[in-house]
Structure 1
């Protein structure tokens, strides 16, 4: 289904935040924030493709989303985006199965923690490869599909999932993660400037602490969790509705005039710091 074009008098408020009928790709969509995003888009009627490294987990996530009563549909395709070859294979699969892609959510990521003087080169190679290089490679790889979807009044959307750790120095010694996310924020702005004339917007969301498996592993110690939440002016972790709402805004007609933005979704950590 083609998205309804904007009328000269302005959009109908009833579908201003809708992504119904759009084709969306969510990397790292089998768990955590990625699964929240995929479910939220499918619930509104998008045709969602989730990609993640573990094939069984990816298929199980898609089946769970489809069984939850969504208006759209979710398809799983395994993809290891830690290498250029993995990004190329996913881009080729998408080109084979889809004429166009309206929304690309670059969410797949990894992290690495080690003390400063013991932080290994492998911790940089792995994290930057997945968190920074892969979003670039995949975006470039599916540019023909994004170009087919984009129009002046309804551009195609690239949404990069950054991190509050790419804006403020984090609590943990995850040097490559914070540097990579800061790089992703800058890459967002650079791509936005380059692709604006082709009717493709590029934005980033920088989440703070969200209730995911990754956060659970990092903050297993109760004292660390308490310290983490003490930094959040709103006093809680992010919930599924928070990230889905931000993505829906950027992906829908409501966000059609936004590009090159990095939106902190962090309960006030960055805005209230200092």
Structure 2
């Protein structure tokens, strides 16, 4: 392997599937891959969002991007996407996720629904989809250059948030552990790593405002002085998918501006 950056960090020609790619971190990651010569498919339930995001990415990058409408909250939905996708697949980014929260004392009648929704999409979907896509991923693996799975976890899976997001925080911790389990079992054909983003503006993370937290207040507690953005999210996923990361597996990579180093201390909010 040559040590030039152009080769060491290249993802040109790699076939990439990004779940939850219609918005938020998924769209950021998909745009990064498309801008660097990968062939990208973005998947989610929301066909309109997928079409709008794909059109924007094509315009901004000139890259190759397709859409796949899929409901990944069920095993059947994951297996249907895998069946339609075909072989081979170089990179799977398990990004689809959701959140829900309410104070532990509150009995709204939605607790069972909230826990099921979060665990189904944040934990079960990465398991079922990765399993269903194993033939496609193994078909892409080469000696010294495994296929890649990148799970999008969270700093909340390392240190819990000071918000009543019990299901979300627990689901991301579970996803991190599943990442290590997969890394052990699926080598040498696949590497499996997780990214643990800090606070990144998205439709889902805006829900923190419910608990009195806005991004300006959060940024004031981040050592590097800001929340995350598209270059941060795309950059780490591009690295993990590139030849430079061919010997990295089972890692949980915080991308959080140093927030975990300080602890997830956040300004006190109001319910």
Moved over 6 A (4+): none
- State the SS of the aligned residue for 1:131: helix
Counterpart in 2 of 1:267? 257
User: Does 2:219 match 1:219?
Assistant: no
Gaps of 5+ in 2: 265-271
2:230, 2:209 → 1: CA distance?
A: 19
* CA contact 1:33–1:243 (8 Å) conserved in 2: yes
- State the SS of the aligned residue for 2:40: strand
2:199, 2:75 → 1: CA distance?
A: 29
Task: Compute the TM-score of the two structures, normalised by the length of structure 2.
Answer: 0.92
2:38, 2:141 → 1: CA distance?
A: 16
- State the SS of the aligned residue for 2:193: strand
> Once the 2 structures are TM-superposed, how far is the Cα of residue 17 of structure 1 from its aligned partner?
1.1
Counterpart in 2 of 1:178? 169
Counterpart in 1 of 2:145? 154
Counterpart in 1 of 2:200? 210
1:46, 1:226 → 2: CA distance?
A: 34
> Once the 2 structures are TM-superposed, how far is the Cα of residue 42 of structure 1 from its aligned partner?
0.4
Q: Which range moves more in the overlay, 47-56 or 227-236?
A: 227-236
1:234, 1:128 → 2: CA distance?
A: 31
Counterpart in 2 of 1:195? 186
> Once the 2 structures are TM-superposed, how far is the Cα of residue 15 of structure 1 from its aligned partner?
2.0
2:161, 2:49 → 1: CA distance?
A: 30
- State the SS of the aligned residue for 1:68: helix
Aligned residues: 261
For the aligned residues, what is the CA RMSD?
1.7
> Once the 2 structures are TM-superposed, how far is the Cα of residue 189 of structure 1 from its aligned partner?
0.2
1:48, 1:175 → 2: CA distance?
A: 33
> Once the 2 structures are TM-superposed, how far is the Cα of residue 272 of structure 1 from its aligned partner?
3.0
Matches within 5 A, 1:231-242: 231-242=221-232
- State the SS of the aligned residue for 2:204: helix
Counterpart in 2 of 1:18? 10
1:176, 1:222 → 2: CA distance?
A: 19
> Once the 2 structures are TM-superposed, how far is the Cα of residue 226 of structure 1 from its aligned partner?
4.5
* CA contact 1:232–1:267 (8 Å) conserved in 2: yes
Counterpart in 2 of 1:130? 121
1:265, 1:223 → 2: CA distance?
A: 20
1:83, 1:109 → 2: CA distance?
A: 13
Residues 223 and 19 from structure 1, CA distance in 2 versus in 1: closer, same or farther, beyond 3 angstroms? Answer: closer
2:215, 2:144 → 1: CA distance?
A: 44
Residues 223 and 123 from structure 1, CA distance in 2 versus in 1: closer, same or farther, beyond 3 angstroms? Answer: closer
Counterpart in 2 of 1:3? none
1:45, 1:141 → 2: CA distance?
A: 26
